[in-house]
Structure 1
Amino acid sequence: MPFARRLQNTVRALLDLSPAAAGAREGGPRTGAAPGLRDPAKKEIAMRLVSSAENSSLQWREQYRYIEDIGDGRGYTAGIIGFCSGTGDMLELVEHYGAARPGNALERYLPALRQVNGSDSHRGLGSGFVRDWQRAAQDRVFCEAQDHERDRVYFDPAVRQAEQDGLGTLGQFVYYDAMVMHGAGGPDGFDAIRRAALERAASPARGGDQGTYLDAFLDVRRRTMKREAAHEDTSRIDTAQRVFVREGNFDLRTPLAWQVYGDSYRID
């Protein structure tokens, strides 16, 4: 065998025995550049998992037109990840849509969205806004605007933080789902949940075990959800994410089977 080929094989063998490779095999710390949840196929799985909890459906692309007040104190909840009129992300979405499609039917509601931000009020919105939202969902540009804001505000920050914490695909999804429901800041936001989890267990990036850390994170998130009447059903943790952790499915490999609100789902 030529010397160059022997050297190449030796390097490859050493890489296979490296801590990064071992971590990837055993669910320990991950330091490589695997695509994780950024992989389009894994991201599709993530969207279907979130939709099962947010919309009781795996058909997440049907949710661009979704809009209703679910009584959680955040006004209207709408779109593919639940943009809310009371939390500012719906306002930012409509502003972004206006920049991409000037003169669209939702622009007229920008003053009202600014006024109701931080409350559950429908003042200046109402049935007309609901109707125009559903019509706007027929516009490809509006759907692209939802995708853009989902990634900018929720998906990209969650995955980036999970990567820094040494988490694999499942951990990245666990972070993303928490970011979608709780937002980043505030006493019950994602950042607070993560800080509390790190007080209980070390992340893989700090030498901890991936499963142990994710259990700690889900424990904290579950308690956070129990403090809110609208989120007191924790099945998206108990019979979904926790199941994947216990199975050691840190790469979110299919098939996946889980339950939310008593309904069963499966991705093959």
Structure 2
Amino acid sequence: MKPFRLFLAVLVASALCVPASILAPLGNPDQAHATSASTKKSRTVKLKARTLTVGKTLTLKLPRNAKKARWASSNKKVATVSAAGKVKAKKAGRCTLKAKVGAKTYTCALTVKKAPKKTATIASGTLRATAFSLVSSAENSTTDYRSTYGYIEDIGDGRGYTCGIIGFTSATGDLLDVVETYVSLKPKGNGLKRFLPALRAVNGTASHRGLGAPFVSAWKKAAKDAKMVAAQNRIVKEQYLDPALKAARTDGLGPLGQFIYYDALVMHGPGSDSASFHGMRAQALKKAKTPARGGSEGAYLKAFLAVRSAVMLQEEAHSDLSRIKTQRSFIDDKNFSLTRPLTWTMYGDRFTLK
């Protein structure tokens, strides 16, 4: 074979052996582009599943190296998501939140739950009026607690004067707190201001020294002043109502339990000794589980009242357990929401709230 023909034959044979994957791009540019793109595979990255309650928001964050994302929600009725990844829960349900970043898709499974119902409290409205009326029936023998701001008497329990809406006393210091608060609200023309030294002196005793008839008269007159009413309400809230509600929230108690705690604080004070509220509560917690700890509300409240009864029976002035019997009757009726109508007997008197 001649040299030229031999060279041509070798060249043709070599061409026939070239892979199609190499020849194709040379003959078809469009096919080359498709082949290149197919090597860039899309990828899905799952983010941590999240849970929200209706009305709440959160912001989903992507890795730092992720470029600007295009966010979307699979169900906008359940939750929406902004361009910045801020999620807002709309209604109970489930949806998937997606963020497209180049070839990557980030997904987040979201569960939206109903907002928990707020527990009604004795801090306001009808429940406040109910709780205050019940306490007033014990402290002032009337359910008209608004008329009791001017009440003042020494009931012979060793606590000196008992005064006002919940029976502040000159021996325990809360009466002094009321007068000091009143003076701060009305520094001038205040008829009780001059009794502050005497109130400080008799604090912790049953003495009336420096008080007597002039103080009784000045107290009744001051009680007609709106600022005096505000002073009493402030001390009630700070020293008795708020602590009762705080403890009740911790223990998972409803309105009846809140009232039982409030009444105990009013009578026994907020101390931690065995004869004061926090001490009695500590003893009750050893005897029964609270609802917050998986216990029965009725069983726990009865345990608390049993501890309180033992404390009351130690004092002659408190040996009548009308308050305890009334509260137990509400427990027996399973009226944990303290719903009216209510009927009870307090120290021999019959009361009704419709």
Question: CA contact under 8 A between 1:179 and 1:189: conserved in structure 2?
Answer: yes
Question: Structure 2 residue aligned with 1:222, among 309, 315, 329?
Answer: 309
Q: Which of 69, 73, 86 is the equivalent residue of 2:171?
A: 86
Q: Which has the higher contact order (CA 8 A, sep 6+)?
A: 1
1:126 aligns with 2:212: yes
Match of 2:324 in 1: 237
- Report what 2:290 is aligned to: 203
Q: Given residue 318 of structure 2, which amino acid in structure 1 is its aligned partner?
A: H
Secondary structure at the counterpart of residue 188 of structure 1: coil
Change (3 A) 1:15 1:222: farther
For 1:69, the aligned partner's letter is D
Report the number of matched residues: 251
Contact 2:120 2:254 in 1 (8 A): no
- Asked if 1:59 is matched to 2:150, the reply is no
**CA distance in 1: counterparts of 2:308 and 2:215, whole angstroms:** 33
Kindly indicate whether the alpha-carbon contact (under 8 Å) linking 2:171 and 2:206 is maintained by their aligned counterparts in 1: yes
Is 1:150 aligned with 2:236? yes
Match of 2:335 among 249, 254, 260: 249
Instruction: Using structure 1 for the length normalisation, give the TM-score.
Output: 0.89
Gap regions ≥5 residues in structure 1 = 22-31
| Structure with greater helix share of residues | 1
Alignment CA distance shift 1:109-1:6 (3 Å): closer
User: Distance between the aligned counterparts of 1:95 and 1:56, measured in 2?
Assistant: 27
Q: How does 1:37-56 map to 2 (within 5 A)?
A: 37-56=122-141
Structure 1 runs (4+) greater than 3 angstroms displaced: 3-11
Per-residue CA deviations over 1:8-60 (Å, capped at 9, x if unaligned) read 4657xx968xxx97xxxxxxxxxx53232123210110000001111111111
- Larger fraction in strand: 2
CA distance in 2, matches of 1:218, 1:43: 21
TM-fit CA distance, 1:172:
0.3
Q: CA RMSD in A?
A: 1.9
What secondary structure sits across from 1:197 in the alignment? helix
Residues of 1 paired with 2:203 and 2:78: CA distance? 65
Aligned partner letter, 2:207: S
- Which SS does the other structure have where 2:207 is aligned? coil
Task: Give the AA of the match of 2:275.
Answer: D
Q: Matches of 2:246 and 2:323 in 1, distance apart?
A: 22
AA matched with 2:298 = G
Q: Deviations over 1:52-89 (max 9, x none)?
A: 11111111111100001000000000000001001110
Residues 92 and 113, structure 2, Cα contact 8 Å, conserved in 1: no
Give 3-state SS (helix, strand or coil) of 1:259's partner. strand
Output the CA distance in 2 between the equivalents of 1:6 and 1:262: 58
The answer for the alignment partner of 1:115 in structure 2 is 201
TM-score (normalised: structure 2): 0.68
| Largest Rg, 1 or 2 | 2
5+ residue gaps, structure 2, are 1-74, 80-90, 95-111
Contact 2:121 2:255 survives alignment (8 Å): yes
